[in-house]
Amino acid sequence: MLSTYSKAPHYDPQDPKKHLPTTTVGDSDTRDEVGLIRAISVKERSSAKRKETYRHIQIKAKAETPRQLLLDMKVRWSSMYVMILRAIEDQDHVDNFVTAIACDEKDKTKRRKLEALRLTSDEWERADLFAQLLAHADERQHAFSSETHLCLQYAIPALEGLHKAWSTRAAKDRYSHFSNALHACADKIAEYYDKTGDSKAYIISMYLAPDAKGSHFEKHWYVGLQKEAEALMEQGMTATATSSKPGASLKPQTSKRVLSDNESDDDKTQLGSDSTSASKPWYAEYHHYLQTREDIPPGISHVQWWGRNAYRYPTWASLALDYLPIMATLVSSERAFSQGGITISKRRNHLKSDIVEGLQCLKCAIQRDLLFKKHGPCSAQEDESFLDAADDSVDTTTNDGELVEGDESKEGGEHSWDEILEDDDDIYEDLSTESPATTTASTQ
């Protein structure tokens, strides 16, 4: 999408003028609004004076929170989306900023170049449409790019949804200006979608989601493709049941059963033969999981759910151990690589591997709040809570003030807890003079 639609180069600090787009319009050409927005962002962030100029423009317009324009980078396509979105949201401020810096320029040639950066209403409209198209990709990317939750089961639905969103818009007149880019994107998505057939992990992970259980196939796939997905799932169950330890699958439960009035002997025999199939010992567990509507408590992840329900579906749980750890994207690995580049800078290029590893672990612990945990109750608090519980559990008087059963300490019975404590300090001295063996025995 980006490379097909916008040909304007990204900003390069080594060559600051390379990113400037063509500001003249020919007979059949139109200006690149993405390149114009990028050039304006570079101008706004180029000096403290221009940053202050843009800030005063926002304050004068009574903006709630003055903010800067964003600049995209080549290695992150989503940065272009947020750059365009920020410029569209502050469209009036951007136009006023271009006018302000052009008026401050004394050189006529440079002033004309700055004035040419101002976007027309049609160019702003195209930028808005382009941002709407990129929003579909941004939404699908966030669907299966989590670092803390399982998201492989969202890969196929995300690709299908993005392909449908872009392919349907390619045929509309409103998006005719982006037709070539949309067709190129649809072809690229279809290429990646076909590659999902090389691995069965995508389909199995969708069945392992207890809140969905492959319902996406029933809603959006043809019957033939549904049967292929079910056959692939059964192959995975067979391989897992074969490689697992004996007795891992659910044993068929045999119990006496009363025949109802509207049930025949043939139905009972057929039911028993299906559930006790020797060739597929996992068959009953397989259908029991798919046909059961699970109640998942809020805040419980799929990993926690399978840990709690492994005894119900042992073969499914074994399958979950193999496929749930698979990463959907390399986002976390790329972020770890980027963090390593931040740690090993040009000024710190002699760090040894163990120091870099320690710094990376320390940054992760700080960002994930793993260093400082809420401390548990101390011994004094535990004793106090225990005594309070004892007071609440034993009520020694009635409403009339008479003693009730359990208050034996005041009637000559057993001592209560507060009477068995001795205040004699000499007992500690006696304990210190005893041998370790005697002390251990007395303690026991």
Over residues 95-121, the pLDDT tens digits come to 999 999 999 989 999 899 999 999 999
**pLDDT (tens digit, 9 = 90+) per residue, 245-300?**
544 444 443 333 333 344 444 444 444 445 445 567 788 888 899 999 888 888 88
pLDDT of residue 27: 43
pLDDT of residue 2 exceeding 60, the answer is yes
pLDDT of residue 254: 37
Measured CA to CA in angstroms, residue 61 lies from 92, 96, 429 at distances of 9, 10, 81
Handedness of CA 73, 143, 221, 195 (dihedral sign): positive
pLDDT of residue 363 exceeding 60, the answer is yes
CA pair distance 26, 243, nearest whole angstrom: 68
pLDDT of residue 419 exceeding 50, the answer is no
**Which pLDDT band holds residue 436 (cuts at 50, 70, 90)?**
very low
pLDDT of residue 44 exceeding 90, the answer is yes
pLDDT of residue 367: 78
**pLDDT (tens digit, 9 = 90+) per residue, 299-339?**
888 889 999 999 999 999 999 999 988 887 777 777 777 77
Rg over alpha carbons for the chain, rounded to the nearest Å, is: 35
pLDDT of residue 435 exceeding 50, the answer is no
pLDDT of residue 385: 59
pLDDT of residue 190 exceeding 90, the answer is yes
CA pair distance 387, 235, nearest whole angstrom: 59
Mean pLDDT over residues 423-436, rounded?
46
pTM for the whole thing? 0.68
pLDDT of residue 279: 67
pLDDT of residue 94 exceeding 90, the answer is yes
**pLDDT (tens digit, 9 = 90+) per residue, 110-168?**
899 999 999 999 999 999 999 999 999 988 888 877 777 788 889 999 999 999 999 99
**pLDDT (tens digit, 9 = 90+) per residue, 215-225?**
999 999 999 99
Cβ burial 313-351 (10 Å sphere, 16+ → b, else e): bbbbbbbbeebbeeebeeeeeeeeeeeeeeeeeeeeeee
